[in-house]
Amino acid sequence: MKDLPYAEPYKTKMVEYMRPSTIEERKQWIKEADYNLFNLSSDKVFIDLLTDSGTGAMSDKQWAEMMVGDESYAGSQSYLKLRDTVRRITGFQYFLPTHQGRAAENVLFSVLVNDGDIVPGNSHFDTTKGHIEFRKASVVDCTIDEAFNTTVFHPFKGNVNIEKLENSLKLNAGKVPFVIVTITCNSAGGQPVSMENIRAVSEVCKRRHIPLLIDAARFAENAYFIKMREEGYRNKSIKEIVKEFFSYTDGMTMSAKKDGLVNMGGFIALNNEEVYKKASVFSIMFEGFKTYGGLNGRDMGALAVGLDEATEFDYLHSRIGQVAYLGELLVKYGVPVQQPFGGHAIFLDANKFVLTIPRDEYRAQALAIELYIVGGIRSVEIGTILADRDPFTHKNRYPELELVRLAIPRRTYSLNHMRYVASVIRKIYDSRSQAKRGYRIIDEAPIMRHFTVKLEKIKT
């Protein structure tokens, strides 16, 4: 169908109603939620772009698989189906299911991370960083500098700067248990990592005998970008690209709530038998027996099907095309967004959008709140609140970028919904000079404060 216009390769079989509300209602609700969008009940949200994690729609084939799920405690057939699918798609030999991505991190890091360790990577996701810092170790961000400028066009802004990596390995010799590369790089704006870059990172790691791990939550979307943007991959299938990418690495943690196309699930896959054995013991204590790891049999079955569906070109073309559609509308309206667009989300650049609110009054959070009040759209702050305080100095950490993420759930919303979102943002953008004051924190947790933080509006 190459000569025809593009259309989604699926149709709708079931619908879920969304409740419209008024601006007055939303002003009241967000105040009652202490200006924390995580505190809103979902019936008070019109379009929910808080996350693309576990919020996608499963296919009829996945639902059919749910019906034949094998709930045996040990040796479940659904587990075997999933294990074989993971082996076939990733090439890794050992596989351990977990209830979600952060559980995979917890189980694997319990074996690998020790007090005082240093874990270099490309803008680690907050749970990854959290699980490392929780073990009194630290991360070093070796992402390329281009990632921190939202207007520079670089096809692979998730890439690792090899020089920064080499320096950090030299400086911390003997203290690095592994390097972790996140694909796509969520914290840098859903930006991909190139095959050339992972090969280079792999060579550096091999020379120093340091394992290379992948945080693979959005590995299929990353493969799509390699196919479309990197020379030599246009005629390769997504599955071939995925297999080659993982072949340069030693293992992965996976949040299957993204490119597994399921609502809950995760896993670890790796080649090192010894690490697998140790991780299995920890998993049995905290997640469940190694053939279910906190998942229902039916969930594992649906995930096996989801992994195959997510690694098909037509699906990815429609998925990433929808995200780009929203991005292009916003660019047309002059709204500052991270470019090129990420795979799973559009990121508003709050440092350029809300210049009038000081950074210590959480300008990205202020913008996210405005999106909710004006249009009932729930997004998420990826800025100073998320960055937490420095664990040693307890001062706010100000990241290079203050972003608001509009994460698009998979196979869930229509292009018309994207048009609605773009119009709301355009309206806010056109009146941006009226924003003066932001918010102050009145209560926060010592780690991952964004989930539970309470805020109050600073009066003008």
Q: Is 78 in the site for ligand F0G (CB under 6 A)?
A: no
Site for ligand F0G in 363-382 (CB under 6 A): none
Nearer to ligand F0G, 127 or 291 (CB): 127
Out of 158, 177, 260, 266, the only residue in the binding site for ligand F0G (CB under 6 A) is: 266
Site for ligand F0G in 217-256 (CB under 6 A): 217, 255
Q: Is 122 in the site for ligand F0G (CB under 6 A)?
A: no
Binding span for ligand F0G by CB under 6 A among 120-128, 135-143, 282-290, 324-332: 120-128
Which of 33, 217, 387, 435 is the catalytic position?
217
8 Å CB contact between 417 and 47: yes
CA atoms within 13 A on the CB side of 54: 10
When CB distances to ligand F0G are compared, the closest residue is 101
Site for ligand F0G in 5-64 (CB under 6 A): 51, 53
Output the CA–CA distances (angstroms, integers) from residue 299 to 76, 288, 305, 412, in the order listed. 12, 14, 10, 19
Site for ligand F0G in 185-204 (CB under 6 A): 186
Write down the least CB distance from residue 165 to ligand F0G, Å. 19
Which of 44, 81, 258, 344 is the catalytic position?
258
Is 392 marked active-site?
no
Nearer to ligand F0G, 217 or 350 (CB): 217
Nearer to ligand F0G, 107 or 369 (CB): 107
Q: Is 215 in the site for ligand F0G (CB under 6 A)?
A: yes
Which of 92, 94, 109, 125 is the catalytic position?
125
Which residues have C-beta within 8 Å of that of residue 198, sequence separation ≥ 6?
Answer: 181, 245, 248, 249
Distance CA 109, CA 138 (A): 12
Nearer to ligand F0G, 405 or 417 (CB): 405
Which of 48, 215, 299, 349 is the catalytic position?
215
Write down the least CB distance from residue 448 to ligand F0G, Å. 11
Out of 143, 150, 182, 322, the only residue in the binding site for ligand F0G (CB under 6 A) is: 182
Binding span for ligand F0G by CB under 6 A among 7-15, 97-105, 222-230, 244-252: 97-105
CA angle 56, 339, 121 (to 5 degrees): 75
Out of 125, 219, 233, 246, the only residue in the binding site for ligand F0G (CB under 6 A) is: 125
Write down the least CB distance from residue 217 to ligand F0G, Å. 4
Q: Report, as residue numbers or ranges, the catalytic residues.
A: 73, 125-126, 215, 217, 258, 450
Q: Which residues bind ligand F0G (CB under 6 A)?
A: 51, 53, 100-102, 125, 127-128, 182, 186, 215, 217, 255, 257, 266
